[in-house]
Structure formats: C-alpha cells, structure tokens
Structure 1
Amino acid sequence: MNILFWHVHGSWATAFVQGKHRYLVPVNEARDEWGRGRARTFPWPETAEEVDVAALRPDDVDVIVLQRPEEQDRVAHLAGVPRIYLEHNTPKGDVPNTRHPMADRDDLAIVHVTHFNELFWDCGGTRTHVIEHGVVPPAVRWTGELERLAVVTNEPVRRHRVTGTDLFPRFTPVAPLDVFGMGVAGLHLPGVTTHDDPPQAAMHEQIARRRAYLHLCRWTSLGLSLIEAMQIGMPVLALATTEAVVAVPADAGVLATRVDTLVEAAQWLIDEPDAARRLGDAARDAALARYGLDRFLADWDRLLEDHTCG
C-alpha cells in the first residue's frame, strides 16, 4: 500500500516504516513539524519516500494515517482516501471525560497505542482499535557498571509534575541521575546530569551502562524509551501509573505509587548488581515478547487491509 503519514514521533515512525509498504512522508524546506521528512538519526528503508503533500493526488495514496487534528486540513484535497487516526497520547483536561477530537466519526477509525489510552479517551461512536507499540531492538545490551540511574524524558522543566521531575531529588542521595531527551538542558538540579537530545544509538549506549532505568511519569502514554530500555536489558523502577503496570512484569523491576518504595529499590539495585542483572534479563524477555517488531507490523497489516478493503 501507499501510506501517507507525517514524521511526528521518531521511534514510532522508525518502527512503522520497517513494514512491507511504501511510506509517503511529508517534507518541506524548513524540515519543521509539518515536513520533517525521513529520519536523520536512524537509517530508514528506501520504501520511506519524502513527498510534497500538496502535490499528491487521491490515486497516489491508499490510506492516510493522521496523528494530529490539524493534519485534516492538509489532506482535504485527497477526498475519498481512507483515513486512520493514530492517537499517541493520554487525554488532557477533564479526565476521564475528555472527548477525543475524532469522536463520533464514521469516516475513520481511531487507533490507540495502549489499552490505557483507549480506556480513558471518550471516542463516542468512532470505531477504535489498539495496536500496542513495537520497537526496533536496540543494538546494545545492558552492562550496568555505572552506579547511576538513567531517565529518558522530553521537556522535564516545562512538563514538571507530569514527567515526575519534582521527584528527581528523592533519588539523588542514592545515586546520580543522568537525564536524556529533548529540552533537558534547562534542568539544573544537584546530582542530575543532563544529556540534551543525543542521537538514539548514542543514547542507548550510554543508558546501557547505568544500573537501572527510572520511569517517574505520572500521566503519559507508554513511552517507547521505557520499552527500549527493557529490550536493552535494564531493570526498571517506575511509578505504578498508566500502562506501565502491564508493560513491566513483577520480575522485571519494581513498580509502586509510594515513592519511598522506589527509592529503597534503587538503593537495593545499586548495592546488588546481580539482582539488577536478574531483573534486567526478565525485562528484556518481556519487552521482546510483547513489543516485538514482527507483532507490531503484523497488527498494522491486518488493520490496514481491513480498513482499506472495508
């Protein structure tokens, strides 16, 4: 199929373009949010082609995967092409009564990336599906020789309580924190070292050397960085919130809503590297089984075939 979609979320898009289709990826001269084109930090297959959306005709596209409400106006000239709306995020506002912007539509389907998201969004009468994440397996394996904790998050200063930034100081007496991601340079906390927007492969190499992965998001969809850390073989310390409670099995880490429990678990893993390795091995097995690339692509193939044929 010829699938039109914007390069919005890098890790998800990288997994999606590994399939058997032709992927039409909008590009513009600025390479901004409306035209990033192909990834520059990870090799995409040649089947992902950069296109000018305005120049496309309906016969050029078999299905459109929308990810932002504003994208509808940019494909108005592609009338009649089947559409799927991919929802990456948890709702904001009056949770759990937040209406999805595509609620009560009969001209498209909504795909959620977690069952938690589907549960909390009010989609009205719009058909919904869940296709859980798939991840291109990282090339590195956990070593954990550094007695430090790794965090991967975006914009922790602006988002603050959402990303659990206010909880970081609770862990620094146990071990220093290394925070990787976009918009982390403005984070100035004792015991916290920031690594602003590193290339993905370099980030994987660095977090694999840390003793454990710390996931303190209070309200978020399931971050792909958590799955990637698990596939690397990192033990997980996480708030027992949102989809993390099913993504991280009991033998793969420690989940709790009591922060002191996670702080105590962090000390345990710093003191007991063999225990960290045991949990990390279980985390890797669980993430490869549940969030494997083959399952992800097969789920999308089934949905794309059913949706376009219908």
Structure 2
Amino acid sequence: MRILLWHVHGSWTTAFVQGAHEYLVPVLPGRPADGRGRARTWDWPGSVRELDPRELRRALDTEGVDAVLLQRPHEAGLLHEWTGYRAGRDVPAVYLEHDAPGGPAAATRHPLADVGVVADGRVPIVHVTRFNALMWDTGSARTAVIEHGVPDPGHRYTGERERVAAVVNEPVRRWRAAGTDVLLHVAREVPAEVYGMGTELLAEHLSPLGPTAAGAAGRLYDLPQSELHARLAGARAYLHPYRWTSLGLALLEAMALGLPVLALPVTAAYAAVPPEAGVLSADPDELAAVARRWLADPAEAATYGKAAREHVLAHYSLDVFLDRWTTLLTQEVSREDRHDL
C-alpha cells in the first residue's frame, strides 16, 4: 500500500513505518510541525519518502495513494489545500487519535465527531488505548483501537546508576498533567534524571530541593531517541509521573529495555504495568520509598525490569501492531471500492 501521513509523533511513526508499505511524508522549508519530513534523529527505512506540497500533488495525481492517515483535525484541510483531494471522499482516510481527552474527562467531544465524513462513517477514528476510546465522546463515528507496538531495542538494562529516570516533554508547561510535582517530590528523596524537550526549565525548580536534587542541571537531558535508550538503560528504575495522558511510548520503550517501573495508577497504566513489572501507587511517598528500596537492592529492581520487558514484548508486539494497521487500512480501501463516493 501507499500511505500518506504527517510526521507528528516521532516514536509512534518510527514503529508505524516499519511495515511493508510505502509511506509519503510531507516536508516544508524549515521542517515546521506541518512538514517535518523524515526523522533526523532516528533511522527510518527507505520506504519513507518526503515530498513537498507540489510533489505530493503530483504523486497523488500520477501514482495515487491507497489511504491517508490523519492525526490532527486540520490535516484534512492541508490535504485539500495542497492536492485538491478530500479525505474520506476522494481517497480513503483514517483518523488516529493519540491522546486522551484534555477537557472534562468523560464529556469531551472529539473534534472530528461532528465532521461529515467522520460522522457518516467514511473516516473511522482509531485510538491507541481502550481507555482513550472509552473517554472520548466520538458520537456516531466508527471507532477502533490499535494499541502501540514497540520496536524491540534489546535487553539493554544495566541499572548501574543509582538514579531514577523519567522522560517528560515540556514538564513546566504541562505541570500537573505531566505529574511534574510528583517527579519533584520523588527527586527530593532519591537522585533523579529527567529527559525530554524543555527539561532545562526544570533546573530552577529542582535546585531548591536540597542535596539529593542539587546539581540537577547535570541530570537534565534533551537527547535524540537514538541516544535516549542507551542512557535510560543505565538508570536503576523508570518513573512515569503522569496524572493524565495517553499511554506514553517512552514508558513502553523503557520497559522494553528492561527497566522496572514506578507510576501513578491512572489512565492506561494499569494495563501497561502489571504488578510483577513495577509499582503503581497514588501516593508519591510510596513511589519514593520503593525507589529507595530498588536503589539499595539492584537484584530486586532487575527482577521487576525483566518482567516489564517480557510484558511489553508479549502485549505490545511490533508485528501485531503492523498487522492490525495493515488489516484496518486494507479494509478501508476495500470499503472505498464498495461505495460510490
């Protein structure tokens, strides 16, 4: 199949483009959010082609495209503006929703729920967790769930550093949703490393926390994904402090590396982290206490980490993920053939 999608979520797209298809990815000068093109910090296969809007129009006119994978509400407008094609009418389309609803938890209407091509069943909305599907109000739109798939990075865990690692993008701006206050609470008790975009803004919040968190500027990192795994593997444990989020791929990737997990028992964490793989608790003091125990007992931490890796490989298989997406997209193309749009 030939699939058009925007490069929106780097880790998710890295998994998706491992399939046996051809992928067209828009690119714009300066590589802004609507035209990032191919990843520059991760090795994508040669089956991913980046095209500017003019090249994209030419490709759709001459080669065609089997399906469009939409991930943001305005992408259907970009498709029509750049190519003249209408998602769900001129070309089969699927809308992938990466996130849990950000407004009232059980009453947020999905932005595409009332859009004609979605509401009349032409464009299904695909969620990445069953929790997200439960919480979004998608009206009469067709919905499906395809859970994440994680490329196996190998069992790289060493746990050599007596520190807890966390990956949180923009931890200051996303304060409560990202659980940044929980992260700081744990960092008062045990040494912590924080990875992600915008982590430098945490320095002023970490420095007053005392000797455990002192010198935190040396433990704040914004690394490309290709370097991140190597760093994470050396930490003793992984902290997932999020209060409200979709299931973070960074969490699954850390588990695949072999790290034991500390997390809040919210959203989809209950499904991703079974008891043998880590500890879920709504009490930050308990998370800090377990972190201290693991820092003092590397063998126990490694045992939890081994179970975490086994769980991810069994439940978030890349092959299963790719097969499910191929099946869904093939069904949408077949459905297009059966209906006169």
TM-score (norm 2): 0.88
Counterparts of 1:14-29 in structure 2, within 5 Å, are 14-29=14-29
Deviations 1:24-83 (A, max 9, x none): 000011111011100111111111001123442355211100000011111121131011
Question: Which of 78, 91, 107 is equivalent to 2:85?
Answer: 78
- More divergent stretch after superposition (216-225 vs 193-202): 193-202
Question: Which of 181, 184, 187 is equivalent to 2:202?
Answer: 187
Question: Which of 197, 206, 230 is equivalent to 2:231?
Answer: 206
1:8 aligns with 2:8: yes
Question: Which of 270, 290, 296 is equivalent to 1:245?
Answer: 270
SS in 2 for 1:167: helix
Is residue 3–residue 22 contact of structure 1 (8 Å, CA) maintained in 2? yes
Question: Which of 148, 152, 156 is equivalent to 1:137?
Answer: 152
Q: Which runs of 4+ in 1 moved over 6 A?
A: none
Q: Which residue of 1 aligns with 2:291?
A: 266
- Structure 2 distance, partners of 1:153, 1:250, is 23
- More divergent stretch after superposition (158-167 vs 102-111): 102-111
Structure 2 counterpart of 1:24, which letter?
L
SS in 2 for 1:157: coil
Question: Which of 331, 337, 341 is equivalent to 1:306?
Answer: 331
SS in 2 for 1:186: helix
Is residue 87–residue 110 contact of structure 1 (8 Å, CA) maintained in 2? yes
SS in 2 for 1:187: helix
Shift of 1:140: 5.6
Is residue 165–residue 232 contact of structure 2 (8 Å, CA) maintained in 1? yes
Which structure is higher in helix share?
A: 2
Contiguous gaps of at least 5 residues in structure 1: none
Structure 1 counterpart of 2:5, which letter?
F
- Structure 1 distance, partners of 2:184, 2:322, is 40
Is residue 38–residue 44 contact of structure 1 (8 Å, CA) maintained in 2? yes
Which structure is higher in strand share?
A: 1
TM-score (norm 1): 0.97
Shift of 1:169: 2.9
Is residue 140–residue 205 contact of structure 1 (8 Å, CA) maintained in 2? no
SS in 1 for 2:172: helix
- Structure 2 distance, partners of 1:195, 1:40, is 22
Q: Which residue of 2 aligns with 1:69?
A: 73
Q: Which residue of 1 aligns with 2:187?
A: 172
Is residue 154–residue 256 contact of structure 2 (8 Å, CA) maintained in 1? no
SS in 2 for 1:33: coil
SS in 2 for 1:73: helix
Is residue 138–residue 201 contact of structure 1 (8 Å, CA) maintained in 2? no
- More divergent stretch after superposition (93-102 vs 233-242): 93-102
Structure 2 counterpart of 1:264, which letter?
A
Q: Which residue of 2 aligns with 1:35?
A: 35
Q: Kindly tell me: are residues 140 and 39 of structure 1, through their superposed partners in 2, closer, same or farther at Cα, counting changes over 3 Å? A: farther
Shift of 1:97: 0.3
Is residue 124–residue 142 contact of structure 2 (8 Å, CA) maintained in 1? yes
Is residue 53–residue 74 contact of structure 1 (8 Å, CA) maintained in 2? no
Contiguous gaps of at least 5 residues in structure 2: 208-212, 336-341
SS in 1 for 2:299: helix
Is residue 160–residue 234 contact of structure 2 (8 Å, CA) maintained in 1? yes
Shift of 1:202: 1.3
SS in 2 for 1:185: helix
Structure 2 counterpart of 1:247, which letter?
A
The share of aligned pairs that are identical, in percent, is 50
- Structure 2 distance, partners of 1:259, 1:230, is 20
Is residue 2–residue 63 contact of structure 1 (8 Å, CA) maintained in 2? yes
Is residue 186–residue 288 contact of structure 2 (8 Å, CA) maintained in 1? yes
Is residue 15–residue 150 contact of structure 2 (8 Å, CA) maintained in 1? yes
Deviations 1:196-254 (A, max 9, x none): 42121211111111110000100000010000000000000000001011100110000
